[in-house]
Amino acid sequence: MTIEPSTVSRRADAAENDAIIVAAAARMITLNGGIPSIRDVAREAGVGSTTVYRRFATKAALHSRAIAVIICDRIGPTIAHALQDPDPMHGLREVTDELIRATNSPERVQVTLPDLVNEFLVRYREDLTVMMEAAQAAGELRSDIVREDIDGITTVMFAGLALPKHRAGASARYVALIFDGLSRIDAAPLPGSS
């Protein structure tokens, strides 16, 4: 009698394979400037080519996920520093400034917005929550912004930063508008707020 592995363990294995494959692709991009082939990534990751293709339908899809990892790796130290900032709003602005640099990097054109947003939120959602709650406690951030708003705010932030820059300072203006909306303590309550 054969015992099938549970669905939970298969999902954990799939997630682990994803992480191994993406890490291998990210290393190859960092060292070589790109992914030579899926077969090369599979060899680097220690998995079969079929496993890579099962997880990533195209080389471009794998490349995008790997670039998202590379960009988020660069943001990590800024997040850690921002968490230590005694002025939580300043910390959030530091993170935003790093996001501007990341979205203006040459790699940005090689990553899809969903890959970048998803990777960022998986890694940093809890850290952003801590900064948001600290800024609210300090009276610097509107009190009707809730934990569930972080995903939407992050998506809007990345989408706006990824827009073509037709003039100098466009990103800074966009960020100033967002922060004005976030910090307007006297603003009308957000829809759905109690």
pLDDT at residue 102, as a whole number: 78
Q: What CATH class does 1-57 carry? A: mainly alpha
Domains 1-57 and 68-183 share a fold: no
Query: What number is the average pLDDT over the span 105-114?
Result: 76
Whether the per-residue pLDDT at 3 is higher than 50: the answer is no
Q: Is the pTM of the predicted complex or chain greater than 0.85?
A: no
In angstroms, what CA-CA distances link 64 with 88, 109, 189?
A: 31, 9, 38
User: Residue ranges per domain, the chain?
Assistant: 1-57, 68-183
- Cα–Cα distance, 77 to 98 (Å, whole number): 10
74-89 pLDDT per residue, tens: 999 999 999 999 999 9
Q: Which two tokens stand for residue 62?
A: 């794998």
- What's the Cα-to-Cα distance from 34 to each of 9, 49, 60, 114, rounded to whole Å? 32, 17, 10, 20
Position 109 scores a pLDDT of 66
CA dihedral 105, 107, 111, 116 (to 10 degrees): -50
Q: How many other C-beta atoms are found inside a 10 Å radius of the C-beta of residue 103?
A: 23
Tell me the mean pLDDT in the region 121-149.
Answer: 93
Q: 3-state SS of 151-180?
A: HHHHHHHHHHHHCCCCCCCHHHHHHHHHHH
Determine the pLDDT at residue 7.
Answer: 46
- The whole-number average pLDDT for the span 102-110 is 70
User: How does pLDDT run across 37-51, given as a tens digit for each residue?
Assistant: 999 999 999 999 999
Q: Does domain 68-183 have CATH number 3.40.50?
A: no
**164: pLDDT strictly greater than 70:** no
Position 113 confidence tier, pLDDT thresholds 50, 70, 90: confident
Residue 147: pLDDT band with limits 50, 70, 90: very high
Q: What is the 3-state secondary structure (H, E, C) of 17-54?
A: HHHHHHHHHHHHHHHHCCCCCHHHHHHHHCCCHHHHHH
The answer to whether 71 touches 63, Cβ cutoff 8 Å, is no
pLDDT at 110: 77
Q: What is the mean pLDDT of residues 133-157?
A: 91
- Amino acid at residue number 185: I
Lowest-pLDDT choice from 74-78, 168-172, 174-178, 181-185: 168-172
Quick check: 4 pLDDT over 70? Answer: no
